[in-house]
């Protein structure tokens, strides 16, 4: 039974990777199930065995990818806390974790950023729920930083969380598309220098 579950996880992972790559390259409508199956190296029937249709596959793809992104941010915060770091240190660690995620999953990130702004998709509600879960991880740390006096009480946790995640995603995509000669460490260092301003100007810098 465990072998069967492992094989299914492996197959679904291949389908996710194939779908992400193809849809990022040519769009959802232009991508066929046959192409996804061929790219994944499986039979067309295997796609329908795992997913009812292409739309369900895409929804699961979003859950899978955004879930990994959210987990990466959460781990960064938890590991910082375990080392005794401050909440603002955790936020900086989250920036680094976000950059690593984009570096490893550029096609999914491009797809995710594009889909967030589309309002006529059948998976819109799913995507918005996933986005809220993703931002909530960052928002929680910001609220704790405010409560601990590390950030100004005037900080808007919801808006600031959206700004931080947006900054990471857009900066990382810009880095990969237009400045690929830069290292991940260089990009993280540049964003770290912007972090005090994003978190509350001089107050965050003194924290």
Q: Inter-axis angle of helices 33-40 and 2-26, to 10 degrees?
A: 120
Residue 63: count of CB within 10 angstroms of its CB:
17
Question: 105-114: per-residue pLDDT in tens?
Answer: 999 999 999 8
**Would the pTM count as exceeding 0.75?**
yes
Cα–Cα distance list, 116 to 83, 123, 192 (Å):
34, 10, 25
* Closest of 51, 55, 32, 195 to residue 115, by C-alpha: 55
Question: 43-88: per-residue pLDDT in tens?
Answer: 999 988 888 888 998 999 999 999 999 999 999 999 999 999 999 9
Cα–Cα distance list, 53 to 14, 36, 129, 177, 207 (Å):
16, 12, 21, 32, 51
Confidence of residue 4 (pLDDT cuts 50, 70, 90): low
Cα–Cα distance list, 85 to 70, 82, 93 (Å):
20, 7, 10
Q: Is pLDDT of 101 > 90?
A: yes
* CA-derived radius of gyration, the chain: 19
């Amino acid at each position: 039974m465990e072998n069967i579950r492992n094989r299914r996880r492996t197959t679904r992972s291949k389908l996710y990777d194939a779908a992400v790559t193809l849809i990022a390259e040519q769009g959802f409508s232009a991508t066929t199930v046959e192409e996804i199956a061929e790219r994944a190296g499986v039979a067309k029937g295997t796609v329908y065995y795992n997913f009812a249709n292409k739309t369900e596959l895409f929804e699961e793809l979003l859950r899978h990818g955004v879930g990994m992104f959210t987990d990466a941010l959460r781990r960064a915060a938890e590991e910082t806390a375990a080392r005794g770091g401050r909440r603002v240190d955790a936020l900086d660690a989250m920036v680094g974790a976000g950059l690593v995620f984009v570096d490893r999953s550029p096609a999914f990130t491009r797809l995710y950023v594009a889909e967030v702004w589309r309002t006529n998709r059948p998976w819109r509600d799913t995507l918005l729920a996933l986005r809220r879960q993703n931002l909530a991880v960052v928002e929680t740390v910001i609220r704790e930083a405010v409560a601990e006096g590390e950030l100004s009480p005037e900080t808007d946790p919801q808006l600031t969380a959206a700004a931080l995640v947006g900054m990471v995603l857009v900066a990382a995509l810009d880095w990969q598309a237009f400045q690929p000669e830069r290292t991940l460490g260089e990009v993280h260092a540049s964003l770290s220098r912007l972090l005090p301003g994003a978190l509350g100007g001089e107050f965050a810098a003194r924290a």
